[in-house]
Amino acid sequence: MANRFVQKLQGYADLTATEILALEQATIHPRKLAAKHDLIREGDRPGPVFVMLEGWAFRYKILPSGTRQIMAFLMPGDCCDLHIGLLAEMDHSIQTVSSARVAMIPRAEMDRLMSEHGGIARAMYIAQLADEGTLRAWIVSMGRRSSLERVAHLMCELYVRGHAISLESGNAFALPLSQIMLADALGMTPVHINRILKQLRLTGAMQLRRGSVNILAPAKLAQIAGFDENYLHRRMRRPSSRTGISSGPESSGLKDL
C-alpha cells in the first residue's frame, strides 16, 4: 500500500531512497482510530507529530456558545503541527472524521529526520507553507467570497489535494464530510449548505452524493469559485498527469480533463 505521507512530500521535494526509507520507518507502526476520535484537545500539551496515513481529520474550536468552527481538513498524507511543540498548550483540537490510521512521530525523532535529511526538511517546510497558504485562502473565502463561491472553492481545493495523492478516480473522489461539517468549515448553516449544493448541481458543475463528490464540469466549477491553485504550491505539474488545474494568473483554475 502506498505511503500517502511519502507521496505527498515527494510532490514538494526530490527525496533520496534513503530519505524515503527513513520516512517509511518513522510511520511504520500507525494506530487505528475510530471516527470522531480527538487526536488532541485544546489546552493539551503538544505531543508527537500526527501523520494521517488513511482517513480524514479536521482542526476545530468550540466557542463559548457551543458552536463549532472547523479551520482545516486533514487528508491522507497530511501531518499536524511541525512546530507546535514550541508552545505550552494546544490552541485548538484535532478530531478524526472517519476511521483512520495515524502514525505518531515523536518530536525528537522528527527533529532528527529533518536535521539529518535535507530533502525531508525542505519538503516539510514547503508543506507547512502550503498549509498556511490554504488558511489564507479560507480567510479570503470567509471574508469576501459569496456563499456559492465559497462552497465551489472548497470543492476545487479538496479535489486538487486529493489528486496529488491519487485519491480521485476520474472527476470523482471520496468525500467523507457531512453537510454539517461543511457548514462548520464555511461559516454557514446546514440548510444554507444544502441549498448551495443543489444550486451547484443545477449548474451542472458538480454533484455531491453521500460519501463522494463528482466534478461534472471542472472549468465551470473553477469559474464559479474564481479558483487558482497557486496557494497549494504543488511542484509537479506534468501535462501527462494534469488535474486540469492551471496555476497561472490568467487561468480560472480547473480545466476540462
Lowest mean pLDDT among 59-63, 90-94, 117-121, 230-234: 230-234
Cα(13)–Cα(124) distance, integer angstroms: 9
Confidence of residue 239 (pLDDT cuts 50, 70, 90): very low
Domain ranges of the chain: 4-126, 146-241
144-191 per-position pLDDT tens digit: 999 999 999 999 999 999 888 878 777 888 899 999 999 999 999 999
Cα(255)–Cα(252) distance, integer angstroms: 8
Q: What does the block give as the cell for 212? A: 463522494
More confident residue, 197 or 248: 197
Check if the beta carbon of residue 27 is closer than 8 Å to that of residue 105.
yes
We find that the CATH architecture of domain 4-126 is Sandwich (2.60)
Half-sphere exposure (Cβ direction) of 114: Cα atoms closer than 13 Å: 17
pLDDT at 75 over 90: yes
User: Going by CATH, does the domain composed of 146-241 fall within 1.10.10.10?
Assistant: yes
Mean local confidence (pLDDT), 205-232: 93
Q: CA 129 → CA 17, 56, 76, 132, distances in Å?
A: 24, 20, 18, 5
